[in-house]
Amino acid sequence: MEMFATDLERLAFLLEADAALAIDPDELGTDAAEQKAPEEQPPEKRPKYITNYIGSKQKLVDWIWRNTPDGVSSVLDAFSGSAVVAYMYKSKGLRVFANDRLRYSHHAARAIIENSSTRLSEAEIEKLLADNPKAKTFVQDNFKGIFFAKGVHALIDSLRANCDDLSGYKKDIALFALGKTCMSGKGGFGHFSSSTDYGKRQDTPEEFKKRLKANIERINALIFDNGKENKAYRGDVNEILPKVKADLAYFDPPYATEFSTTNYEKAYHFVEGLMTYWDGLTIKADTKVKNYETSHVTVTKGNASDFFQEFLGNATHIPHWLISYRDHAYPNEQQMKKIIGGLGRQSRMKTKDHKYSITSKHGEASSAKERLFVCLKGNQSHADTDQAAKPVPMAAAANIHTSIPVELCLDENAGLNAEAMSGGLPGDPQFTFILCRTGTNRNGDHFTAEELAGRHMTAINKKVDLQHSQEFGDIVGGVVAADYLEDENGGRVECVGELYTGDTPNAQLAYKLMKRGIITQVSMECDYEEGECSVCHKRFKSKADYCTHLRKFKGRELDGKPVFETLHGVTFTGLGLLDRKGADENARILQVASVQEPSVEHQPKGDPTMDEKTNKPDESSADAAKKKQERQEDNPAPGGELEKENRQLKAQVAELQKRIQELEAEQKAAASKARAHKLISKLEKQGMDFGEDRDTELKRLAELSDDAFAATEAAYEKMAKSQKADAKAQPEPEKEPDKQKSKASSETPMRSSAGVRPHDVDDRKLSLEDRLRSGFMAAYNNRVGNESNETVEIN
C-alpha cells in the first residue's frame, strides 16, 4: 500500500523524523486536510505514524518487518515507547500486545493500538482547547521560566484540567496529543533533561493550541480496526511477559552505550508527570529541570547483563524473539549471543547503518550500526526463518532511508545447488580476540586504562595480517568491532575480527589454522604521539630523542625497578596473527565464531567436528566412545562393516601422510644443513674465523627460512669483503644533523608492535641489508673479543 497520502505528507514525515518539527495538516494540501474527519481513513489515506521519541525505530520499521518470521499472527512489543513498531505490526494485520512502564507510552498505545474506533469529535476538540478558570496552577508554580515561552505554562495547566473531563480512549487521545505537543515545540529537542535550550521555544499560547489541535486530528486519522483484539499494558516487563502468550516478542529495551545511558523516565519527566498532574510525585527543588524523585534504576554498563538476562529469561515460552540493539552498547554483541544461547536460543544478527536524529551527541554517537538479533528455539534451524523478504514499496524505501542495504533473496521454489554449497569455507569467518591489556608488555610498552578506554575505537576498520607482514597479499581480514572491558585483572580491549575467506587463499588458510588451534595468539600494531619514561617521566615525540633509561633499559630493569614507556595518543593500526606468544601474552584469540555454529550437528558420521579435533576428551567421554565402538563391532548394524572399513582406511591414509611429512621434513633439514655447511666453509676460505661458535652458527643457519638464509648469505659476503680490506675497521654510524632528525620525527609517528621485541630505538627506515650488516658486525666483534658501541638483539 502507498505509505503517504500526498507528496507533501511525505515531506512532512521526513522533516519531523529528522528535525522533530511538527507540520500543520492544513498546510499539507486537500488530501491531508480531509483526514481531519473523526472517522476511520482507508489505508491509502491514513497518514504515516511519526514520532520524535528518543530511540524511535520509525525509520527501521520496514527492515524489522522484513526480518519478522513468517507464520507469526501475534506479537508483544515489550518496551513499546512511542508504539511505532507496535503500530506497524497492527497495520500488517497481527494481533498486538504493547507494554511500557511509562504512563505517556501507555496512553499512546491505548490510543492507537488497543483503540480501534473511538475518536475525538470537532466539538470535543474545541472544548478541550477552551480556557478553564477552575484549572490549578502546578505548571506555572513549578516550571516558570523553563521549557516553554511565557503564557504557555498557564495554558498547559488549563489543557490538563480539560483532559480530566474526558474518559476512556478519548482521554488517552487527549493526553497522548498533549504530551506529544509538549515534546515537539519550535527549537525543542523532545526530552526534558536540560533547561538551557528550552527558552528558545517561540511558541505562543495560540501556536501551542494550533499544534495540539493538529496532533489530535493526526491521531484521529491513525486510528483503525485491523480486526484483531489488541491490548495495551502498563507494567514492569518481568511481570507482564509471563502473562502474555504470543508468537513473537519484540524487544527494544533501554540500553547503555559507551557514549551515554538512557533513563526514559528522567528524560521525559515533565510529560510523565503531566500524565497524572504529578499526583504522588515529589519534585526535587534543588534541580534546574525540576524533575521528580524516582526509584527506577537506570540501565548502565555494570547492570546491563543482569537486566537482559532477567527479562529474556521470562520470555522463554514465546517461540520467536526479535531484539533491537546497536553497536557500542553493553552487553556487546558476543555477550548478547552468549546470554541468548544460555537460554536455549539460536541467534543470528542483522546489521544496518542508521542515523539517530534524537541524540544529545553527534558524530560516533549518532551514526550507528543498528543490530537486530533474530532468535529461535534450539530445536529449530536457521533455515526456518530465512524466508523471502517481505515486500516494501519502493517509493517509501527511496524516501525514508538515507542508505539502502542490499539483501539477496532466493525464490522459495528455487532449490540450492549442491555444487554451489560446497564452494568456499563453511561457518562464520568472524572471531573474537583480546587486542591489548592494561599494563606493560615484554617490549616495555605501557598502556593505561584511560588510554585504552578512550582510544580502543581506533582499532575498528584496521587490517588483520600475518605476523605483522606489510605485504598486501598477507592482509587476511579486518577489525569490525572493538570494546573496552574491565575485570578483576584490569582493563582490556576486546575486538571482533573478520577474515576475508572469500577473497584470498591466505585468509582461508588462516581460518583453518585458527579453527585447528594452530594460530592462537595475536599482536597489536599501533602508532602513538608521545612516549613517557617511567623513570624520569620525560616525554618524547621521537625515539631518536629517548633518554638514557629508555634507550638502554626499556623492557628491562634498572636498580631493581622495571623501565617502560607509557604510550600517549595511541592509534591502533592493525593486528598480526601469530603461532606463538608475542610481547603481550594476554593478546590471544578467544573464539572462532563458527566453532559454536549449530551446523556442526549436521556433520556426517566418521567425520569429527572441529571441536572434537581440538578439544581433548575427558576419560569418561573416551571410555563411552570406546564402549560404543566395541558394541558396534560386536553387533554391526546394516552397513556397519563398510563404515568400519572406511575408518580403517582413513587411519591408514593419515598414518601415511604423517610419514610422508616426516620424510619431507628430514629431507628439508638435511638440505638446509648442507647449504649452511657450504656457506660456513666458503666464509672460512675467505678468512673469517668462527672459533668455538662455529657449531652454534651452523645450527642457526640450518634453521633459517629460504628468504632469511639468502639475506644472511648476502650480508656475510659483503661483511667478508669489508673485513678483507681492513679486518679491524668498523663502519662509522651514520650521523644526521639534528634539524634533519627533528624534521623526520615530526613527519612520522612513533610505532610499536607487540609481536616481537624492538631491535633499536631509531625511527629511521633502514634496509634489510643495513640491519643485517650492523647485527652481524656486532656478533663478529663479540666473537673476537672487541667491544661494540651498541648492543643489538637479533631474534
CB 231 within 8 A of CB 285: no
CB 60 within 8 A of CB 28: no
Instruction: Check residue 560 and give left, alpha or beta (phi > 0: left; psi -120 to 50: alpha).
Output: left
> Class assignment of domain 56-101+227-258+298-393+403-412?
alpha beta
CB 514 within 8 A of CB 579: no
447: helix, coil or strand? strand
Average pLDDT along the chain: 75
Name the range with the highest mean pLDDT among 8-17, 29-38, 93-102, 703-712: 93-102
φ and ψ at residue 384, rounded to 5 degrees: -60, -25
What confidence score (pLDDT) does residue 355 get?
A: 55
* Least trusted range by pLDDT, from 78-92, 214-228, 580-594, 597-611: 597-611
pTM of the model: 0.48
Say how many C-beta atoms besides its own lie within 10 A of residue 419's C-beta: 7
What confidence score (pLDDT) does residue 126 get?
A: 96
CB 417 within 8 A of CB 410: no
665's grid cell: 621434513
344's grid cell: 536455549
Residue 103 has pLDDT above 90, yes or no: yes
508's grid cell: 582461508
637 burial type by CB count under 10 A (0-12 exposed, 13-18 middle, 19+ buried) = exposed
Residue 441 has pLDDT above 70, yes or no: yes
Distance CA 247, CA 245 (A): 7
For the chain, give the longest Cα–Cα distance: 115
What angle separates helix 205-222 from helix 168-183, to the nearest 10 degrees? 130
Contacts for 224 with CB less than 8 Å, ≥ 6 apart? 40, 41, 46, 91, 116
Tell me 599's DSSP state: G
* Least trusted range by pLDDT, from 89-98, 207-216, 454-463, 741-750: 741-750
Contacts for 539 with CB less than 8 Å, ≥ 6 apart? 530, 531, 532, 533, 568
Give the pLDDT mean for 112-121.
96
Distance CA 474, CA 471 (A): 5
DSSP line for 361-380: --GGGTEEEEEEEEEEETTS
Residue ranges of the chain assigned to CATH 3.40.50.150: 56-101+227-258+298-393+403-412
Return the closest-CA partner of residue 70 out of 384, 412, 452, 336.
Answer: 384
Give the pLDDT mean for 335-340.
91
C-alpha pair distances (Å), 264 with each of 165, 418, 436:
28, 51, 35
133's grid cell: 478558570
Half-sphere exposure of 313 (CA within 13 A, CB side): 9
**% of the chain surpassing 90 pLDDT:** 31
Give the pLDDT mean for 470-496.
85
φ and ψ at residue 766, rounded to 5 degrees: -105, 145
Q: How confident is the model at residue 758 (pLDDT cuts 50, 70, 90)?
A: low
Tell me 76's DSSP state: E
Pairing between β-strand 345-355 and β-strand 367-377 as defined by DSSP bridges: antiparallel
Half-sphere exposure of 27 (CA within 13 A, CB side): 9
Beta partners for 575? 464, 524
Q: How confident is the model at residue 178 (pLDDT cuts 50, 70, 90)?
A: very high
What confidence score (pLDDT) does residue 692 get?
A: 75
